[in-house]
Structure 1
């Protein structure tokens, strides 16, 4: 250290406290980075890498960015998962002795972003923390610093449930104890791709008691909240007055959707493009406020289990549908309501500007209109939404009388406060305005006295006010009156004692005016800060209203209907549709289908060709159930459903490259997760289980899973398969029902009708699908020949004539396994027993094993064994 200059030593001391951050070190008008930070930043930000003398023999790597354009660079780094420590000068360079004192004033991390340009308007930006306790118990705390909302949840079912809870939440950063097991930290970083930060201290100061009222006596929740709070205090170093009291999320009150189901059902983003378009959220989002859009996403991630609460939402949606014009008027009014949640955060945080406060004012001015519109509805459910809405007209009036409509973005250059708001400010402005008027009059007077038409009075920050005369007219100036101030190429600039005196009065008034405006704005901001809890409460009510009108709007556009719930675990959907596929198809007609599952049918076994719509049929049931349980109407003509506590899906095939697991292993893990956690009130969707291994292995596993679900889980299950042999299970398992997707062959081509009908499919049409994919004709012809050979019992591959075999395989002699060795009957005194054994032998002799599928043979053997044991 001693070899470096004092400034570099200062940099290294501060950098040692923020080793995992880019340190933006303020030097004049630039943020500079040195050493490893400079090398990394030049690469990540694509800026020029230079070097400077730091006192050591070798020059120090350095790069920098202008402080006034730092926001975009910071955004770039934060979006990539990096942290940025902002180090500013904290003393006046004019009074500093030696190196100017500097310190970190803010730590910007992916989870603590506050600037609007770095935030997604319609999505929360959550910072989460995890605290581990004995018995595989974890406490998760969520905080959105931009809105102040904070919530805590306890997970008691292990680490995988923690990952499922965090998955698909907009969590950008997670705070953990340094002692959290390393494999857990790896899961967070690699499987969920979240930035991990560390915080050991978990104590909560008494000054934050108002935030912990609901959790004060729960040590686990308090510790989890404390870890989050301490991290925020350490990184933000400023007011956190906008933080809302911690809300407890009772996970058992919501439908459980594990990470597999959230991904497979594409609730908020698609699997391939990782975007909103093509997801269920994309279809349902008819909100008109940013707050409402964020609320809709929260509801979608946590469907309700409380039937009464769901039906309360239905009542509002139904009323909105009945009164179209009033609903549209509410939509129009909501369009003028800005993001009150994030504006409140900016007020508390101290980075609010005058235009932000104008947005608060305009929003509040619309609230009485919205309340009036709600009171015009016939439904008590809608009218009750207006109750408890505080329109905060006192705050609206304060902002209206204080802030100019055309106020600038900056808050230190004046032009913010209205005339008449402050008497002293009015006096300063009057002096400044009259002074400028006097300057204008002086210019006219000097032109007349000197007869110089081009004479003008100007101003700059260096010389103040001056009289400028071109060189050609200098001889017209009277002697002794003008004092030369500056010489230009073609002109001279002068001052007069009278002009200098007036300049002092004008500039003093302007300077005092700007300083007073800033002081008044800060005082106004402090007054607005007192209304933050009321603004946040108002924002929540407006968000709820916006989501419910969105449900009504989309239900009317797409002809959704109100579903009903039953306690019998029965599913009855008439002409159901997939909400996303239907929207994507636009003008093409979507083929609707019924879903019927009463108490006597627990498992629907779905067969049919590829591309026929099996997966769509399965997904649309799950999406219909989710839509119903968030309070939205559903895409069908009629729907009666149970309330599902969980939905599990195994749809689609993909390797898990991060954990190094094959498609089949992923399939088995997801299947295990479903069948071990589901209850009889759950919904399970299993799509072509067993296809990732050999035919007989896959078929055996598929049948075993169906039997296990049928006998032990008893959850409503949709199971699609290409193993047609499984369709015989309908005869042996009482609650299994076969359905198939209808397809017809026409002129050698397959036509998919996308219609679900009772019974099993008779063909897979795999070669027809390959033909639709435009595989080479020669390949299609050859596949058809091989299929005929296989269907006629020639189950060994043959090569076409005149082709050379790739390799020879030694052919083993075929052997037919003897299932039973039939011995001669011994005489028995028990005639009844002898008769039964004889009947069993006769039944065995009549079995045509060669014409049976392996599964049919196994089932027959199973039945014979049961009879033999009797």
Structure 2
């Protein structure tokens, strides 16, 4: 049966798993880093590779496949003898439900696992030629919501791409057909790093959708319990996409999903436009397999000082969704400034309060799905108990703030939610035996039931006898009770005795003692009597746990009624966590960040003084050289940046983009001063290999992305373009670059930074008043090129290509030939406007060179004669006139160029 290469199939053999064929080879190379363990079996004329994966490796490998590589996983069972294998579990980046216990049992879920579906249609009311309507549906299991929208798009799906980037989905469902339109859409989505899953067209039909939604939607109080009455149903194309998601995830097959999800619109009008090219050009999110050593190489890694997992999830959403709402941005800046200025409160929040609060969102999800335990309820109880001290700290900070931003944004709402959880706290204190929690035992208080009381009495009696054994063993070994020998318990061994490693020799070779294990904390062991007491205790403990199940189920059922409050608390804590992270990053940077002054949309001005690239300055052994930029709508909207390679052009233009992004996210910025208007988009075309689309040449990729910029940019956009036009001939590339520069400057009037090696473009500054030249400075001394990394006004006055070749240790012969060819090409360029054949041009160049050589030799002879000033000038003018009388076109062109 055909399967995509991005699907790995496992076969459950009981004590281990196997993978076969291409999956075995992939697993061996990617996971085990060796093919030595592969066995090959003959099946007739064919051979089949097979690889065994033990349970430990299976669990770790599943995490890598689903969360890092974004592959699909299928687990088959039941066919070891009959060869009749049945699909038992399946998962994908957007569908982790069947693997959640395995993936997140011991670690919090840092990233979301949203899945989207896209269906393309046409709007009968839209007469724009080539316009398509993309119906987009999103299912976010973590947020418990279903969202949809419809957007008009072009043939390259530029708007769809930007929205998908902002939604941060891990998987996308598309209609399985071979249309060119669908093929382009598939490539656009894959370019965004999202796994594409093709589904049959019938999955996008809406035949039973209303019935399914009526089961799944959590209707508001007083709302009519009928999905057909919801305004979202008017999005007929997007609704088809939602139908595909419901079928793919089999949501209606699990009653735990009934009445759990909100249905809402995707509101992207208040967000800045960020497409995949800009996402990569500005390094907004980290690439896969990022280590702690280079986490600062991305904007997300730089800003991630979050102390909670729900804070990190929200931060990932914020950096993908820069705001356009000035009030919302200023509120974030106000809170960051308050925390920035109050060192004591900032440190208390960061070091003490936030790290102690659990992931309320994931706990609420477990409660809703009836998968929670008493330990989960206790984690909620613990988290809620931390809120009063958190609120007290926030109040102490807000008292000195005249705007009382923290009060309106957090304090009052946290107090309300804490009051809402008061009954939950009382329930936990009255039902859970808090005296056993420190031992990892989460038992109902025995007062609830006579049988529980009896069993609890037996357990206490056994505990007393075990303490007596502690005393006896301590006396026998001549150790201090509860000091050098202790009675402890855990879920693995139950009750046991522990001594230090240096005392281990006392129990070695002694048959009275059973050694359990040895590690750096000491030696764990039991004597025969303690072993029997522990077995009896375990039996009664199990009976106690079984008997209390009804009460536990009732407690968890009551606790599930607090899910809405927990989810609201989660969003508050996550927001506070991210803003505290912004403040910590701002104050701990090599040079502290400043609060940007946000200007209204359409202000036509953007000024950054001493701007730095926040990721670059965090690298080791870097002393960053800051630079300015000053955009004014009527006088300076486009800057052409020239200069040598490695001189800092790309870093400079990216730094401006990153600063603008940080400001719109709500962070402070790495500048001395910053005035930034509300932008509608950051559009970028940086690097020849940054955004490869399969099936397109590098130059075609460049043209497609630049075309998107031209069509999307407005006078309120920031455009960043680096080295455009190098994928074709020099003259063609220069012509295209020149046309784009003129269009952006004259027609669009966007804030544009255009780095280029085409020095001919610098002449546009003389033609268009809003274009200005900048260059990165460098100096040559003793054939050594030194970069200064400073941006200065004016065009670069020379090219350093051959000097860079020398630094790169090119053979001297190659450098000499390059210099000679450069002279020839420059001579040819002098005559480029003169219509003639290459043969005639070569002849004229040769004759002109001879005339110039003769003229220089005659001038040298003049210096040997003892002539006064007047005589010298007379003789020189005679020689000069003789050159002019030759009427050589090459000499005439040179004189014209220098005049």
Under a length normalisation based on structure 2, what TM-score does the superposition of the two structures give? 0.71
Q: How does 1:275-674 map to 2 (within 5 A)?
A: 276-331=295-350, 332-376=352-396, 377=398, 378-379=400-401, 380-384=404-408, 385-389=410-414, 390-391=417-418, 392-403=421-432, 416-420=443-447, 422-431=449-458, 434=461, 512-558=543-589, 559-564=592-597, 565-566=599-600, 567-585=602-620, 588-654=623-689, 658-674=693-709
Cα distance, 1:88 vs structure 2? 8.1
- What's 1:128 paired with? 116
Q: In 2, Cα distance between the equivalents of 1:394 and 1:18?
A: 52
Measured after TM superposition, the shift of residue 45 of structure 1 is 7.9
> CA separation in 2, counterparts of 1:19 and 1:747?
56
Q: Which moved more, 1:579-588 or 1:277-286?
A: 579-588
CA distance in 1, matches of 2:773, 2:185: 45
Distance change in 2, residues 1:240/1:688 (3 Å):
same
Q: 1: CA distance between counterparts of 2:755 and 2:75?
A: 56
Task: Using the TM superposition, give the Cα deviation of residue 673 of structure 1 relative to its aligned residue in structure 2, in angstroms.
Answer: 1.3
Q: Does 1:111 align with 2:94?
A: yes
CA distance in 2, matches of 1:217, 1:638: 47
User: Where does structure 1 lack aligned partners over 5 or more consecutive residues?
Assistant: 1-14, 90-98, 443-492, 494-499, 797-809, 818-845, 861-870
Q: In the alignment, is the contact (CA less than 8 A) between 1:23 and 1:84 conserved in 2?
A: yes
Deviation for aligned residue 1:253: 1.4
Q: Say whether residues 1:735 and 2:770 are aligned partners.
A: yes
Q: Aligned partners of 1:854 and 1:720: how far apart in 2?
A: 31
TM-superposed deviation, 1:619: 1.0
Describe the shift of the 1:415–1:706 C-alpha distance in structure 2 as closer, same or farther (beyond 3 A).
closer
Answer yes or no: is the 8 Å Cα contact 1:168–1:268 preserved in 2.
no
- Which runs of structure 2 are paired with 1:136-147 in the superposition (5 Å)? 136-147=132-143
1:677-716 equivalent positions in 2, closer than 5 A: 677-716=712-751
Cα distance, 1:751–1:193 mapped onto 2, change above 3 Å: same
From 141, 148, 169, the counterpart of 1:152: 148
**Once the 2 structures are TM-superposed, how far is the Cα of residue 691 of structure 1 from its aligned partner?**
2.1
Superposition map of 1:223-238 within 5 A: 223-234=240-251, 237=254
Contact 1:570–1:641 (Cα < 8 Å) also in 2: yes
Deviations 1:217-253 (A, max 9, x none): 5444544434323433359735236944234222221
Q: Which deviates the most, 118-127 or 662-671?
A: 118-127
Residues 35 and 307 of structure 1: CA distance in aligned 2, closer, same or farther (over 3 Å): closer
Q: Find the aligned partners of 2:679 and 2:895 in 1 and give their Cα distance.
A: 36
1:196 correspondence with 2:194: no
Q: Give the equivalent residue in structure 1 for 2:882.
A: none
Distance 1:693 1:507 in 2: 77
Task: Report the equivalent of 1:163.
Answer: 161
Q: Quickly say closer, same or farther: Cα 1:232–1:599, change in 2 above 3 A.
A: same
CA distance in 1, matches of 2:309, 2:366: 16
SS in 1 for 2:725: coil
CA distance in 1, matches of 2:424, 2:827: 85
Deviation at 1:303, TM superposition (A): 0.8
| RMSD of aligned Cα (Å) | 4.8
Q: Summarize the Cα distance change of 1:407–1:713 in structure 2 as closer, same or farther, 3 Å threshold.
A: farther
Deviations, residues 64-89 of structure 1 (Å, cap 9, x unaligned): 87779863454355455554456789
Task: Identify which of 172, 182, 186 aligns with 2:170.
Answer: 172
Question: SS of the residue aligned with 2:607?
Answer: strand
Q: Residue 172 of structure 1: CA displacement?
A: 2.6
Contact 1:131 1:138 in 2 (8 A): yes
SS, match of residue 562 in structure 1: coil
2:841 corresponds in structure 1 to 814
C-alpha deviations, 1:122-174, integer Å up to 9, x for none?
A: 32222222233324222323333245354334332143432343247543322
Report if aligned partners of 2:286, 2:297 keep a CA contact under 8 Å in 1.
Answer: yes
1:47-100: CA deviations, max 9, x gaps? Answer: 8779999xx9x99999887779863454355455554456789xxxxxxxxx9x
Q: Matches of 1:34 and 1:769 in 2, distance apart?
A: 51
- DSSP 3-state at the match of 2:773: strand
Q: Distance in 1 between matches of 2:30 and 2:438?
A: 30
Alpha-carbon offset, residue 420 of structure 1? 4.2
* 1:75 equivalent in structure 2: 63
Structure 2 CA distance, aligned partners of 1:679 and 1:269? 29
Aligned to 1:187: 187
**Gap regions ≥5 residues in structure 2:** 124-131, 220-226, 470-527, 832-836, 845-886
Q: Distance in 2 between matches of 1:765 and 1:61?
A: 55
CA distance in 2, matches of 1:62, 1:409: 47
Shift of 1:522: 3.2
Deviation of residue 511 (structure 1)?
5.3
Alignment of 1:776-815 (within 5 A): 776-788=811-823, 790-791=825-826, 812-814=839-841
SS in 2 for 1:659: coil
CA distance in 2: counterparts of 1:322 and 1:386, whole angstroms: 18
Q: Distance in 2 between matches of 1:855 and 1:716?
A: 36
DSSP-derived class of the 2:721 partner: strand
User: TM-score when scaled to structure 1?
Assistant: 0.73
Counterpart of 1:762 in structure 2 is 797
Return the offset for 1:848: 9.1
Deviations 1:188-222 (A, max 9, x none): 78544504153445413323342676635544454
User: How many angstroms apart in 2 are the aligned matches of 1:754 and 1:619?
Assistant: 14
User: Aligned-pair distance for 1:262?
Assistant: 1.0
The total of aligned residue pairs comes to: 732
- Cα gap change, 1:673 to 1:25, in 2 (>3 Å): closer
Q: 1:256: Cα distance to partner?
A: 0.4
1:417 offset after TM fit, Å? 3.6
Distance 1:733 1:854 in 2: 27
CA distance in 1, matches of 2:543, 2:572: 43
Higher helix share: 2
Aligned to 2:263: 246
The alpha carbon displacement at 1:254 in A equals: 0.9
- Larger mean Cα displacement after TM superposition, 720-729 or 199-208: 199-208
Offset at residue 439 of structure 1 (A): 12
Distance in structure 2 (CA, Å) of the matches to 1:351 and 1:854:
86
- How far is 1:336 from its partner? 0.6
Q: Does the 8 Å CA contact 1:132/1:180 hold for their aligned counterparts?
A: no
| C-alpha distance in 2 between matches for 1:270 and 1:30 | 32
When residues 503 and 544 of structure 1 are mapped into structure 2, their CA distance, relative to the original with a 3 A threshold, is closer
Please tell me whether residue 208 in structure 1 is matched to residue 216 in structure 2. Answer: yes
What is the CA distance between 1:320 and its match in structure 2? 1.6
Counterpart of 1:737 in 2: which secondary structure? strand
